[in-house]
Amino acid sequence: MKKILIIEDDSFLLELEAGKLKNEGYEIITASSGEEGLLKINEPNIEIILLDLILPNFDGFEILKKLKETDELKHIPVIVFSNLSEEKDILKSKELGASNFMVKSNFTLDELVKQIKKVLE
């Protein structure tokens, strides 16, 4: 079972995302703050990270930075899944190594699953 880490501070969105991905057969671990996210990225065998950007404590960019700086973690693909859409945020995510940038409100959860499968191929 492939393991996905979801870092998302909105509890309702987190519940919906996690529920959908569990139904699709993924193992889900979650973090609801930047601080918790920074701890959970060290869990073994994470295959992909779904990352929100506006988070309490540390934002999503800090997490991307940490992943990029850590040899054992920098191979993990990250899909930024945020409702920010300004160009500066997209470019910064890309520079920090994100595989994709998806504006949540532009996608359905089925489309998110499709994108995850594509990145995992």
Partner 1 sequence: MEEIEKLRKENVQLKTINENKSDVISITAHQLRTSLSALKWILKMFIDEDVGKLTNEQSELINKAYSSNERMLSLVNDLLTLSHTEDASITYAFEKIDFLKLIEQSLFDFSGETSKKGVELIFLRPEGFLPPILGDKEMVRVIVQNLIENSIKYSNNGGKVFISLKQVDEKIQFSVRDTGIGINKEDKDKIFTKFFRASNAIQKDNIGSGLGLFTTKNIVERHGGKIWFENAEDGGATFFVLLPISSII
Sites of contact with partner 1 (CB under 8 A): 10, 12-13, 16, 20, 54, 83-87, 90-91, 94, 100-111, 114-115, 118
CA–CA distance, 76 with 56 (Å, rounded to integer)? 23
Q: CB of residue 100 vs partner 1: minimum separation in angstroms? A: 6
Q: How far apart are CA 72 and CA 63, in angstroms?
A: 14
What's the closest the beta carbon of residue 32 comes to partner 1, in angstroms?
A: 14
Contact 61, 69 (CB under 8 A): no
- Select 26 or 41, whichever has its Cβ closest to partner 1: 26
- For partner 1, which is the closer residue by CB, 67 or 89? 89
Alpha helices in the chain (DSSP H): 11-23, 34-40, 60-69, 87-95, 109-120
To partner 1, the closest distance from the beta carbon of 23 in angstroms equals 8
User: Taking a C-beta distance cutoff of 8 angstroms, is the pair 115, 17 a contact?
Assistant: no
**9/41 with CB nearer partner 1:** 9
Nearer to partner 1, 41 or 93 (CB): 93
State the nearest-atom distance from the C-beta of 75 to partner 1, in Å. 19
CA separation for the pair 97, 69 (Å, rounded): 10
